[in-house]
Structure 1
Amino acid sequence: MHRTRFDEERNPAPIQPLTDKQGQYLDALASSSQVIVLGPAGTGKTFIAGTRAADLLRQRRISKVVITRPNVPSGRSLGFFPGTLEEKIAPWVAPLTETMKERMGAAAFDIAVKAGDIEVVPFEVMRGRTFKNCLVILDEAQNTTTPEIKMFLTRIGDDCQVIINGDVSQTDLRETSGLRTVIHLVKSRMMAIPIVEFTLDDIVRSGICAEWVKAFEEERL
């Protein structure tokens, strides 16, 4: 039987790491229920998280993917923008959702969204929610406060996998980043939670894009 493009979209090849650090990240995802991944843009953090989410959902190893992120960079509450809360936050998580859509196929992705199997949850309404049998991705975690990330981590069920993605050098907060607090707790208490730290040497984007990322990162701009 000939394979169709539809079949290929549903059975994509496993992710192949492009760097040693990406390999460490994939190993951590395969063996740990919580993973913290740090580092600059262009290292594949978002791509791997989105691809992992799509694969687990497609293989029915989880019932839901939940994506969230704090709304600090805009400088305004989500209430300022028109539309539902989900519509307001959608542009901020587009890199993750677009990766999932490409991995799953547009039709399968849209069906999953309509069925509630892929849910974008504004971080400001996470309080009161609990999650079970799902993959939860917290993006831009450096912009959470310590009370916020405490609230987040204490609402995750044992049958969930959590990916905490951020870059502590890029926080927009005036107070101590909750992500920095979590890193300290994991290391000081020797918790069995892997922390994968990408550096500028791990950037996989090619050409002038990579040069710009490195230039801004090295100049702390």
Structure 2
Amino acid sequence: MSRAPEFIVLTDAAARAVSGTNSRHAALIEDAFGVLVETPGGGVQLSGDSKSRGMAKRAIQSLASRADQGLEINEADVRVAIGQARIGSGAAPGGLPVGRRGQVAPKTPAQARYLKALTDHPLVFGLGPAGTGKTFLAVAHGAGLLLRGEVDRLIVSRPAVEAGERLGFLPGDLSEKVDPYMAPVWEALTDIMGVDQFRRRREKGEIELAPIAFMRGRTLSQAFVIVDEAQNATRLQMKMVLTRLGEGARMAVTGDPSQVDLVNARDSGLAHAVSLLDGVEGVGVARFAAEDVVRHPLVERIVRAYEADAAMNGRPD
């Protein structure tokens, strides 16, 4: 195979993103494909055999496309692009205009399918391991709907398993009781919307964070509802929250069926609800796997190790 260098013309922003700080991104691409990546100006020069160059080129073009959209490129993005280039999937299409980030783009094909499901269906289940973007993308989608005036409220609910749903015994008002359990969602919303806008909209009642126990007896109309960590909702809680949907409402239910914290894992309502509703008109189900993890690369290896252990010992994953 030919080892003649290949030059890929890129914008300055894309070339900087591909190179990364102290050429860290370029080094990751070199290690992954056994190529030499150089940035002499005006683009990237690749040296190596043609097959390796082809895969590296796909990864570089994926990163360049994201950079040209004004999106920040970090090491997680580089590793995702490398993984997709290896399997020939290329860049995940689509993007989500929202808040101060400008656009939140899917980093894997599974994330792209998830975003499409959120657009196409009033009820979507997002299932998979930690670090796959299930909650963040649901929050981004809901924040976008709220900012564009397509819904009146964004409601996020989680089962407060650690408190046994007995939040009334904790000191403080509802916000002070709830915030410790909503920290991951709070962080996602402030990242997307900014602290000031998040606070203003929360004070106006446009954003509500509440445990599932506080959803009983309500009808949620013209709202986007996110039920996070839903594997820790009981079957009765899941039925209750799913039937809260009112006129103009949409809902995303996210969780990892393999990480149930309930005393009786069989009482988890997430897998049960999916088994009943998968295939029902208006319901979408998006599934993520270990290869969709976009956190630290070690997280994917941890997830795979636990999956292998569960398979070896005959436990459900």
Query: Which TM-score tier does this pair reach, normalised by the shorter chain?
Result: 0.7 to 0.9
- Asked whether the equivalents of residues 225 and 251 of structure 2 are also in contact (C-alpha less than 8 Å), the reply is yes
- Asked whether the equivalents of residues 99 and 147 of structure 2 are also in contact (C-alpha less than 8 Å), the reply is yes
Aligned CA-pair RMSD: 2.3
Provide Cα deviations, 1:65-102, integer angstroms capped at 9, x if missing partner: 11111111445732343222332221222212211111
Inter-partner Cα distance in structure 1 for 2:165 and 2:217: 23
Provide Cα deviations, 1:155-204, integer angstroms capped at 9, x if missing partner: 111301100011111112204211122111113x6443111011111111
AA in 2 matched with 1:193: V
Match of 2:128 in 1: 39
Query: Structure 1 residue 14: deviation in Å?
Result: 2.7
- SS class of match (1:194): strand
Gap regions ≥5 residues in structure 1: 1-7
Match of 2:290 in 1: 200
Structure with the greater alpha carbon radius of gyration: 2
1:129 aligns with 2:218: yes
Inter-partner Cα distance in structure 2 for 1:18 and 1:25: 11
Inter-partner Cα distance in structure 2 for 1:218 and 1:115: 47
AA in 1 matched with 2:272: T
Larger RCO, structures 1/2 (Cα 8 Å, 6+ apart)? 1
- Asked whether the equivalents of residues 159 and 165 of structure 2 are also in contact (C-alpha less than 8 Å), the reply is no
Q: 1:70 to 1:31 in 2, by over 3 A?
A: same
Q: Percent identity?
A: 38
Aligned length: 213
AA in 1 matched with 2:252: I
2:174 to 58, 78, 85: 85
Query: Structure 1 residue 32: deviation in Å?
Result: 1.0
Q: 1:107 to 1:73 in 2, by over 3 A?
A: same
1:184 aligns with 2:275: yes
TM-score for the superposition, normalised by structure 1? 0.87
1:101 to 190, 197, 207: 190
TM-score for the superposition, normalised by structure 2? 0.62
Inter-partner Cα distance in structure 1 for 2:258 and 2:133: 17
- SS class of match (2:258): helix
